[in-house]
Chains A and B, each alone.
Chain A
């Protein structure tokens, strides 16, 4: 990778993506932990509120979103921590591709490994909460549009917390308030599809806008946090 031309940058980022995906799915990776946690959370809900199907149908989308949010949070701790411990984060700081792009690629890999399985599992878990198939499609769509925002907001928290000794404990405290808008519009769009009466369109479009803002702000803020935190 000597020439600074375009293809080498793309191939470096592609190599990073493949590496992170491989690390996530191999033994000791933990890509499926999020889905298992998601399943566990959704299973706990009827024990907490009772097996009343009408109630479960009404709060189902909210429970799926909360479960996805928490499962996402669970995986964030490892987003940068293992790379920090084995020193590859230092290499990323010094490497030719801009740190912002490298972090965006890492977050994308994280979403493919932990966020996408949540989206795919949501329809199955929706059956447990008695959500109609058509409405479940809409809920899965909101998760597909919204979980990238959660990962990229989490990237900022991971960048801030990775160099701290107790960073793993701090991470949820830093990230959860920032996730409020995504939760509001994700659940609103889902509820619009399940129970109405407001239209699905506006909250869904705002959710997509939030994801786009997250895609831009997340890598830049995380890169700034790493540059200031690791020196």
Chain B
């Protein structure tokens, strides 16, 4: 099957039905391996002790929170330039998933911060950027709920997604700059740049597991969204038929 065939919603549904069990199995296997490595193999950090285990959830959640916005930006181009219905469906499905992972990143970050910093929230640069990202996800979801026609909502959301994609690096840069202004650079940061290989491997496997999970939920949500739009179209047809009769 060529990639272009997936552009047809019916063929996409068939593809999703076939791919989902395999993807779900792969995600489950990756989680089993990742959790085993994270809990029974990875050593405690010399500085953070056992709390480093939170990193194996926190960092993949942060990565998926950002990756979902990147996916939505690509989908937004597909919506605005080619007016492709599946691009719109993809963006619609990715938004709540991305918001969920960003939320998970924030909560685990706060739970990691309490023992490390002595406070749940210290306005650390990375966490603050994720908080702004979370706000933007909520705004996007609110915009979606404000428009009745899904096609029009999708195009408006696509514009906001792209504006956000331009703004997110600027926000990241600003928050980093603001943070160095207010805090000495020596302050410990979550998921710092230097990670020992003995911790890196479990982290990579967990990141893979979360990414596979994202793929499963994304495919299933896209399938649901296509069905939802069919239901909507059928209802409109039904109403029109009732009007004629």
Give A residues with C-beta under 8 Å from B: 156, 159-160, 164-167, 170, 173-174, 176-178, 180-181, 184-185, 188, 198, 203, 206, 210, 213, 217, 221, 224-225, 228-229, 231
Contacts and interface: CB of A to CB of B under 8 A. Distances in A.
Given A170-B143, A228-B80, A160 B156 contact: yes
B152 A177 contact: no
Contacts of A184: 174-175, 177-178
B177 to A, nearest CB: 7
A217 B147 contact: no
Contact of A228 (B155, B163, B178): B155
A164 to B, nearest CB: 5
A177 B128 CA distance: 11
B142 A173 contact: yes
B208 to A, nearest CB: 30
Given A174-B143, A188-B178, A221 B162 contact: yes
A110 B167 CA distance: 23
Contacts of B135: 173, 176-177
B138 to A, nearest CB: 7
A225 B156 contact: yes
Contacts of A180: 132, 171, 174-175
Contact of A173 (B139, B171, B174, B177): B139
B160 interface: yes
B181 A221 contact: no
Contact of B139 (A174, A224, A228): A174
Contacts of B147: 164
Interface in B118-165: 132, 135-136, 138-139, 142-143, 146-147, 152, 155-156, 158-160, 162-164
Nearest to B134: A177
A185 B156 contact: no
A170 B141 CA distance: 11
A4 to B, nearest CB: 27
Contact of A160 (B80, B143, B166, B174): B143
B136 A160 contact: no
B171 A181 contact: yes
Given A184-B174, A184-B175, A224-B80, A160 B159 contact: yes
B170 interface: yes
